[in-house]
Amino acid sequence: MEDINKKVPHSSFKSGFVAIIGEPNAGKSTLVNHYLGQNLSVVTKKPQTTRQKILGILTKEYFQIIFLDTPGLIEPKYLLQEAMVKSANKAIADADVVLLMSDITQFGKLKLDLIIDKIKNIKKPVILALNKIDLISKNKIPEIIDFYRNLYPFREIFPISALTGDGTPQLLNAIVNELSVHQPFYPHDIISDYPEKFFVSEIIRKNIFELYKEEVPYSTAVNIIEFSEKEGRKDLIRAEIVVEKESQKGILIGKNGRMLKAIGEKSRIEIEEFLGREIYLELFVKVRANWRNNAEWLKRFGYLS
């Protein structure tokens, strides 16, 4: 295998798209954030946090990888989840390399048929990353690797920890070696082509997932209705938190507005850190009945094209 740390001529520069797929909560977003060195993709302890394909760009002297961080592969139960699965399918179709991630601590509990069905007919290299090896006994790893080798002809299999970084340099090396010689698709100084307001809405949504339990976070969407840069003053950001029921609205706001204020304060700090400037953040809660099954609302929120 070629060593990607070795100096190479500019004419040998490699570039390509890598779709990261897998079950919910496998650590896909954590891996992207690890490679990029910042929190581009939303990460929480709850599954199905990622709803859309997130594009993260890693550029080094000798390569550029465009990571497509995708929603977890699931059997969809409503229109939003159907859109999430379509997003993952499109990423696979667009990619030069597919990186399948699986939570090694869930070995023996996963329904692998759904995942294997997604990759069995694709004509491109598939690399397997068995994530969270920091949470299991190391002597179990060889047996699990052998199981996956017999399950599908993966190009390579890597036991890793996206959280600690264990095994991630070797995985990155393998990804780069699968890419073709090509000039960069994006300027070297950007890490995503998504607008700032997209990441602002994701920060707010992440904090909803972290502060609330049960079904409420999954019934919410965040819609940025104003994003104004003010000369000599704080930028103004106004955002709607959309829910499906009046009861959910009450839970989100909380007694005397305390919960909504907590979301706002936590989000403001993180947004200012992300943007590198001060902002004024206003949050509102709106009820849009059954929005997760409404194509019009899904298009408005960016989940359907």
CATH code of the domain in which 81 resides: 3.40.50.300
Q: Within this chain, do residues 171 and 206 fall inside the same structural domain, yes or no?
A: no
Q: Within this chain, do residues 54 and 171 fall inside the same structural domain, yes or no?
A: yes
Q: How many CB atoms lie within 10 A of CB 302?
A: 14
Looking at residue 10, what is its pLDDT?
63
CA 262 to each of CA 144, 252, 284: distance values in angstroms, whole numbers, following the listed order:
43, 10, 13
Q: Within this chain, do residues 46 and 167 fall inside the same structural domain, yes or no?
A: yes
Total domains in the fold of the chain: 2
Which of 178, 207, 241 corresponds to the end of one domain? Answer: 178
Looking at residue 58, what is its pLDDT?
95
Looking at residue 82, what is its pLDDT?
87
Q: Within this chain, do residues 109 and 208 fall inside the same structural domain, yes or no?
A: no
Q: Within this chain, do residues 142 and 218 fall inside the same structural domain, yes or no?
A: no
Q: Within this chain, do residues 16 and 163 fall inside the same structural domain, yes or no?
A: yes
Q: Within this chain, do residues 28 and 96 fall inside the same structural domain, yes or no?
A: yes
Looking at residue 221, what is its pLDDT?
92
Model pTM score: 0.83
Kindly state whether residue 184 falls inside one of the protein's structural domains.
no
Q: Within this chain, do residues 107 and 247 fall inside the same structural domain, yes or no?
A: no
Q: Which domain holds residue 108?
A: 10-178
As a dihedral over the C-alpha atoms of residue 87, residue 93, residue 98, residue 102, rounded to 10 degrees, the angle is 40
Kindly state whether residue 5 falls inside one of the protein's structural domains.
no
Kindly state whether residue 43 falls inside one of the protein's structural domains.
yes
Looking at residue 108, what is its pLDDT?
82
Looking at residue 130, what is its pLDDT?
97
Which of 144, 178, 212 corresponds to the end of one domain? Answer: 178
Kindly state whether residue 275 falls inside one of the protein's structural domains.
yes
Kindly state whether residue 2 falls inside one of the protein's structural domains.
no
* Phi-psi sector, 212: left (phi>0), alpha (psi -120 to 50), beta: beta
Kindly state whether residue 217 falls inside one of the protein's structural domains.
yes
Q: Within this chain, do residues 117 and 170 fall inside the same structural domain, yes or no?
A: yes
Looking at residue 44, what is its pLDDT?
55
How many residues make up the chain in this entry? 305
Kindly state whether residue 249 falls inside one of the protein's structural domains.
yes
Q: Within this chain, do residues 139 and 201 fall inside the same structural domain, yes or no?
A: no
Looking at residue 187, what is its pLDDT?
92
- Give average pLDDT by consecutive 10-residue segment, the chain, 305 residues: 50 92 89 87 59 82 92 78 83 92 89 80 93 95 94 95 96 97 92 87 90 82 90 88 94 93 95 92 95 91 82
Kindly state whether residue 276 falls inside one of the protein's structural domains.
yes
